[in-house]
Amino acid sequence: MARRVAVTGIGVVANCGTDTETFWKGLLTGVPDTGFDIIEFDPLPYFDGNAKDARRADRFTQFALAAADEALTQAGELSADPGRIGVWIGTGVGGIGTLEEQIGIFIEKGPRRVSPFLVPMMMSNAAAAAVSMRYGFQGPCENTVTACAAGTQSIGRAADLIRLGRCDAVITGSSEAARSPVGKQGFINMTATSSAGISRPFDAARDGFMHSEGAGVLVLEEWEMAVARGATVLGEILGSASTADAHHITAPAPGGSGAVRCMELALEDAGLSAADITHINAHGTSTPLNDAAEAEAVSKVFGAGGPPITSIKGVTGHGLGAAGAIEAVAVILAMQHRLIPRTFGTTAVDPEIAPINLVLGQHLAWEPGPAMSNSFGFGGHNGTIILGPA
């Protein structure tokens, strides 16, 4: 029998808040004046004030360490053997900022001036490795690199390590810092980003996402162990799934077929029916194709209307590989506050897409129950997790 998986800590770094308290307030008030960048972030506290060590970590690793620090502080001292505590932190592109910087140095100053720390800073597993080393966790230390599905799939795989008995606790989530000059321009040139400068998920006037950055981290524990040590259980990972569209490098499969299968498999994994889901945190990027495919997929699985849906990307923008973990944190906070944030940026749901029950206008009071969070990435990667309230 699979073991239950408790969530005992959450941490976040996002444009609307670099801790869970300010992040939640931001989800209720909208895009901050600073937009979709994280402006005032000081990495030094997460390197014990050592500026040299901080400089030797890419921004995406710095974000992951900050979110992990908050999550582990909330969780308290873990009682598991360090060899049975894992780390699974995903990313979409890893240390692209470091890579760009060092290519510039190579061109301007020559090959001998390239930093010897380039590879350990840019590698996609750097964030997971940094968390493992900082806290001495010696279980599996892995990462998922599946574009915008990385965070959700990482959480699902981390939960599996506990459910199947390989680990007693796993620190999981994802991090991204791809708002480098070339990183930003790449998305602009492929016309994925909004020319209007606004994220408006599922809106008729949506014209692309707003590129952002950040990190989300959850502490997962075997349920009985968490209860035995007196931990405060914030929620539960009930099930997960991942599928591939096998269709196109950027466009979703017609009719959202891959997303349909992913949601159905997650429900099966959780032992739930569609009628049991009380809320969906949508991928909802504000791109024409993604939103249409996701709406159709949700309508096929849940019927017309369905449970209340929100996309927090109207506030946070699209954090790429970090998005799924940031959104999982948002679901846990919604359960704690018994409130589903409205979808900012959207004035009316596109009448040309399948009908969905999008939360608009006002935040929605909610009796927390099983909630689904979806992520879909370039390459046809689909990820779904189902979370339950404590």
pLDDT value at residue 254: 86
Delimit the domains of the chain by residue range: 5-378
337 carries an active-site annotation: no
283 carries an active-site annotation: yes
**Nearest-angstrom CA–CA distance, 149 and 362:** 28
- Residue 101 DSSP one-character state: H
User: 332 vs 65, 148, 339, CA distance in Å?
Assistant: 20, 20, 10
Q: What is the pTM of this model?
A: 0.97
Q: 234 near 7, Cβ under 8 Å?
A: yes
Q: Please return the burial class of 367, using the count of CB atoms within 10 Å of its CB with bins 0-12, 13-18 and 19+.
A: exposed
What is the three-class DSSP state of 248? coil
Q: 176 near 89, Cβ under 8 Å?
A: no
**Nearest-angstrom CA–CA distance, 115 and 260:** 45
**Tokens 């390459």, located at residue:** 379
Tell me the fold of 5-378.
Answer: Peroxisomal Thiolase; Chain A, domain 1 (3.40.47)
Q: Mind giving me the DSSP string for 164-224?
A: TTS-SEEEEEEEE---SHHHHHHHHHTT-B-TTS---TTBTT---B-B--EEEEEEEEEHH
pLDDT value at residue 40: 84
pLDDT value at residue 255: 87
Phi-psi region of 203 (alpha: psi -120 to 50; beta: other; left: phi over 0): beta
Q: Mind giving me the DSSP string for 290-316?
A: HHHHHHHHHHHHH-SEEEEEE-THHHH
Which residue in the list 211, 279, 283, 381 is annotated as catalytic? 283
**Nearest-angstrom CA–CA distance, 223 and 243:** 27
Which residue in the list 141, 148, 167, 262 is annotated as catalytic? 148
167 carries an active-site annotation: no
Which residue in the list 16, 167, 262, 318 is annotated as catalytic? 318
pLDDT tens, per residue, the chain with 390 residues: 789 999 999 999 999 999 999 999 999 999 999 999 999 899 999 999 999 999 999 999 999 999 999 999 999 999 999 999 999 999 999 999 999 999 999 999 999 999 999 999 999 999 999 999 999 999 999 999 999 999 999 999 999 999 999 999 999 999 999 999 999 999 999 999 999 999 999 999 999 999 999 999 999 999 999 999 999 999 999 999 999 999 999 888 988 999 999 999 999 999 999 999 999 999 999 999 999 999 999 999 999 879 999 999 999 999 999 999 999 999 999 999 999 999 999 999 999 999 999 999 999 999 999 999 999 999 999 999 999 999
